[in-house]
Amino acid sequence: MEKVVSGIRPTGNLHLGNYFGAVRSFVAMQDKYQCMFFIADWHSLTTHPKPEDIQQSARTILAEYLACGLDPKKAPIYVQSDVRETIELYLYLNMNMYLGELERVTTFKEKARQQPDNVNAGLLTYPTLMAADILQHRANWVPVGKDQEQNMEMARKCARRFNNIYGVEFFPEPQNFYFSDQAVKIPGLDGSGKMGKSEGNCIYLRDDDKTITKKVMRAVTDNGPQEPNSQRPDVIENLFTFLRIVSTPDTYQYFDEKWNDCTLRYGDLKKQIAADLVAVVAPIREKIEYYSANTELLDQIAREGAEVARESARATLNEVRRIIGFRV
């Protein structure tokens, strides 16, 4: 079976944009590929987080992904810093990467602009660490959002260069795996294009029913349909996007007809969306609460995931050491 590796930055709580975008696709992937997921806590060191936050944010994100349906029996989930083998590969790969090309990576340039007082070497070699994450499992596929494409290009470069330098065909070049056919882009309900943390318009999987309802009822609308069968403005289309995702086709059709004959009342539409959204989120939230209250279980899942990952990384490293000329 082909191998998929994906790393997740432990940044805050999952919102609907994450869920209907990447997370649900991850869940679908576990049945078709040999997947490994990990929480990229080393990568987060570039901003020097507090020690007490490190473990907490890993547990938070682990609880949320498990609640969404990631199944450690199908796909191991581990915490990056538990698999120290990665660092050795990172060192070898760094020897083949050049300052100029690392400096040209857009995410590096952006970060350097955002945190001019903290342009550390970890930030510069972020793509090499990411390459080590992937290549240590000799993965074939990596799910990518647009922002990760250049990092993936660097990972392929690492693989190619290693193979060329040592005259081997050892590392497969990991390919980008796009979810675009299954992932849904969730709009913001405040009139902005997308739901996102930096936009401050998120509905979180941890939100309780009342909070979700309040956020939906506050959604930006207009004066209502003016002419039969007219095109919907973006803010209204956003509501219909939600309806399409969380409600039944019949319900969608009902409100679509109401729009078309100009009898739609936005209050009714929002109430429907809120109720159907609550029905989707509430069971996930309950599972998040269950996992969050069971830190021992979380730690055990992460420990078991790390064991599998370590074994996979060690097998790769042994080969790499042999190829480079080190004792195994």
The active-site residue, picked from 50, 157, 197, 270, is: 197
Asked if 194 is an active-site residue, the reply is yes
Give catalytic status of residue 197 as yes or no.
yes
The helix or strand, by DSSP H or E, that contains position 120, with its residue range, turns out to be none
Provide the CA 41 distance to its chain's centre, in angstroms.
14
φ and ψ at residue 37, rounded to 5 degrees: -120, 145
Question: Among residues 129 and 216, whose Cβ is nearest to ligand TYM?
Answer: 129
Cβ–Cβ < 8 Å for 84, 91: no
Residue type, 46: T
Annotation says 111 is catalytic: yes
Cβ 77 to ligand TYM, closest distance in Å? 13
Q: Of residues 194, 258, 271, 287, which has the active-site annotation?
A: 194
Please, what is the minimum distance in Å from the beta carbon of residue 17 to ligand TYM? 9
Q: 125: number of CA atoms within 13 Å, CB side?
A: 21
Q: How far is the CB of 4 from ligand TYM (least distance, A)?
A: 10
Which of 111, 157, 215, 270 is catalytic? The answer is: 111
| Residue with Cβ nearer ligand TYM (8 or 27) | 8
Pick the closest to residue 187 from 11, 20, 14, 10 (CA basis).
20
Sign of the dihedral through C-alpha 178, 184, 189, 191: positive
Residues near ligand TYM (CB under 6 A) are 5-9, 21-22, 40, 43, 130, 133-134, 142-145, 148, 151, 178-179, 183
- Nearest distance in Å: CB 284, ligand TYM: 18
Burial of 325: CB neighbours in 10 Å, binned 0-12, 13-18, 19+: exposed
Residues noted as catalytic? 111, 194, 197
